[in-house]
Structure 1
Amino acid sequence: MRRAFSLLELVLGMAVLMAFLTVTYFTLAQGVRYVRETDSYAYPQKEGAVLLRKLSEELANSHERWVIPGLEAASIRFLSAEGPETVPSKLEFNNSTGRIIWKKWVSYVWDPAKSLVTRYEMPLSPTTSDLTTEPDPGTLPDEFPTLPNLRKRVVGRNIVDFKVVPSGTSQQTLTVTSEKQVPVSTRGTKPERVRVTMQATVVILNQDP
């Protein structure tokens, strides 16, 4: 006949179970905090990486002519052969010369006061494949934010530094620094500011022969 558990055995069993559950809870809680911290650290890097990739792709597909940096290299203007950003389009070519038809200016402008980078579009008037002279309108990069009715979109937040500097023939070096305050629970309750700097050198594909 099986002997019943004594009161002492039940108490000891409950104590062991409670100890196990407590250890499990704190282990899981620590894991959740670690995942949250990792995500927080990754956020500034993601912000900068998305901006860097977008600008690199557009600049690489531009033309080496009429790429104009702004004041203190904190903005840039270049040509684009695409239609409006939200409208699917394809490259068009001049039937006589076979050259690409350029359709708009694109400008990226950093606002240090708001830590934002905004992308602007301005249609050329008219579109052109002839780049011997600057296409109209010849707006400078830092003038884009002052003009009404332009298509614009914020493409980078928490950007504390932004530079576009010529670095060779048909090359531009892009530097993006993003920063965000993140919680660091394993080091105390005080949040920490995380800063990430990324850099890329872009070769502009369309060049004069």
Structure 2
Amino acid sequence: MAQLDVQPKNSSPWWIWLLLAIFAILILFFLLRGCNSKTTVVSTTDSTKTIAVTKPDWNSVDFNSPVITDPDITDKDIVLSGTDKYTIYTLGENILFATDQNNLQGSADAKLKQIAASLNKRFKDAPIAIYGNTDSTGTGEHNADLGGWRAKTVKDWLVANGIDGDKISLHTFGESKPVASNETAGGRQQNRNVQIVAFPDSK
């Protein structure tokens, strides 16, 4: 009778299975982390788009807009202009401030109170921008700074009198946007002004 030589089958070493298990766990870990990163990026992008849609386009404001009236504004030193999208309140800097200063004069209080009352009545939730303008006396850098400081002074007054400061942005044109000639005293006086722009149509 023939003898059968049957050898037992060799099994794979245990450490090969251990390495395969570790490798599979690592792949699973990196896949899950990659998915979480993608979700975060999408969420941030969507949030940014929402903010951009609600921001007013201050560059679209035409400061030569037609003069308009408001029954609540009776002070003749306050000039109103604008369109159906925004209203501009203009006050001469010489009325609000002494020459080359950024502290409000005593007469400014009553005028700013009229503007604040009008803003609260007509533009309660509207974004507001304050622009400071100067004549060309002095350096351009100094005038840009002065316009900015005067705009901030007006903002601080409005906030102290009930206007939401989070809705107010500050801008300065300095001497760069004259409305009259800087060659005459009268023209320079016109160029020294502060403009408060309410922009309810922010879409």
Fold in common (TM above 0.5): no
Structure 1-normalised TM-score?
A: 0.34
The structure that is strand-richer by fraction is 1
More helix by share: 2
